[in-house]
Amino acid sequence: MKPRVRFAPSPTGYLHIGGLRTALYNYLFAKNQNGKLILRIEDTDRKRFVEGAIENLIDTLTWAGISFDEGPVMGGEYAPYLQSERLHLYKQLVEKLVLEGKAYYCFCTPERLEKLKEEQQKLKLPQAKYDKHCLHLSKNEIDEKLISNIPYVIRLNVKPDKKIIFNDVIRETVEFDTNNIDDQVLLKSDGFPTYHLANVVDDHLMKITHVIRGEEWLSSTPKHVILYDYFGWEKPIFAHLPLLLNPDKSKLSKRQGDVAVEDYRDKG
C-alpha cells in the first residue's frame, strides 16, 4: 500500500520553523515512497484562531516548495480538509462512543473544575485529573440536563490501572500508565471537537498510514491509541521527530522573530 501522510497545522498565526521541518519530513517521505501528502487545517480551537493564518500557512509552504496532493485549495477524495467543516462527523462518532460507555457527558461547571484542581494541587498530585464525577450520573439525570440545555462536554472514559503500549519509529516501544491519563475532553461545549478527537477521526477517515509529527505530541499519543482501540480502528505508524534546538541545546526561543518561517524568508 502506498503511504498517505499529512501535515496538519493549526492556524494560530505563522508557520513555526519546527512545523516546516515536520512538513519537509512528510513531503520527502511521500515523494520517496511514491505516496501522497495531505494538507489538513486543524482549526478547532476557536480561541486561538487568527484571521488570515490559513492563507499565510499556505503561502509560506508554497514559498518553501512543499507541494501537496490533497488539501483545502486543490481538494481531494477526502474533502473537506478544514476541520471546522467536518463538525458533524466528530459529533456523530463521539456520540457512538457515549452509547458504548467509552465516553461520557460531563456537566461540571468551570468553578467545580477549578476547585478540584486546587484540591489536587494541595495534595501535591503530579497532575490535575478529572475525578469522573459525571461518569456516575444516571440516564435520567443526563436526559434532564440535556433537555434543560445545561452546557456539557464529552470526555474520554479512560480505564484505570492499564498500560498503553505502542510503537514509535524513533522511540521504539513507548509505554504509558492509564492512571496518568486524564479523561480528556473530546467534544467541547461549543460543539467543536478537541484536537485529540478530530485528529484521530481525520487520520482514520483520510486513510493516513504514517503520523510523522513533532515530539511535543508524544504525550498525546496514548490518548489517541485509546481512541483508535475504542473505535476499533487500525492505528497508523507513529514517528515523533525530536524537537529543533538552538546550538546550545536550549529550546528555540518563543519570540516570533526566531521561529517564524516568514522571518527567515524576509531575512533572505
Interface ranges with ligand GLU (CB under 6 A): 8-10, 42, 195, 199, 213, 217
Pairwise CA distance, residues 129 & 141, whole Å: 23
Q: Which CB, 66 or 134, lies closer to ligand GLU?
A: 66
Supply 41's cell numbers: 487545517
Supply 265's cell numbers: 524568508
Q: Would you report the helix, strand and coil content of the chain in percent, each value rounded to 5?
A: 40, 20, 40
What is the closest distance, in whole angstroms, from the C-beta atom of residue 164 to ligand GLU in the complex? 17
Pairwise CA distance, residues 146 & 106, whole Å: 11
What is the closest distance, in whole angstroms, from the C-beta atom of residue 213 to ligand GLU in the complex? 3
The closest of 228, 231, 193, 217 to 82, measured between CA atoms, is 193
Q: Which CB, 210 or 213, lies closer to ligand GLU?
A: 213
Separation in Å, CA 23 to CA 15, 192, 213 = 10, 25, 8
- Can you give 28-81 as a three-state secondary structure string? HHHHHCCCEEEECECCCCCCCCCCCHHHHHHHHHHHCCCCCCEECCCECCCCCC
Q: Which CB, 42 or 70, lies closer to ligand GLU?
A: 42
Note if 254 is an active site residue.
Answer: yes
Peptide bond just before 80 cis, omega within 30 deg:
yes
Q: Which CB, 117 or 235, lies closer to ligand GLU?
A: 235
What is the closest distance, in whole angstroms, from the C-beta atom of residue 150 to ligand GLU in the complex? 30
What is the closest distance, in whole angstroms, from the C-beta atom of residue 124 to ligand GLU in the complex? 31
Catalytic residue of the set 2, 139, 249, 254: 254
What is the closest distance, in whole angstroms, from the C-beta atom of residue 144 to ligand GLU in the complex? 36
Q: Which CB, 120 or 209, lies closer to ligand GLU?
A: 209
- Can you give 119-131 as a three-state secondary structure string? HHHHCCCCCCCCC
Q: Which amino acid would we find at residue 222?
A: P
Q: Which CB, 134 or 211, lies closer to ligand GLU?
A: 211
Side-chain-side CA neighbours of 4 within 13 Å: the count stands at 19
- Can you give 163-215 as a three-state secondary structure string? EEEEEECCCEEEEEEHHHCCCCEEECCCCCECHHHHHHHHHHHCCCCEEEEEH
What is the closest distance, in whole angstroms, from the C-beta atom of residue 111 to ligand GLU in the complex? 30
List the catalytic residues: 254
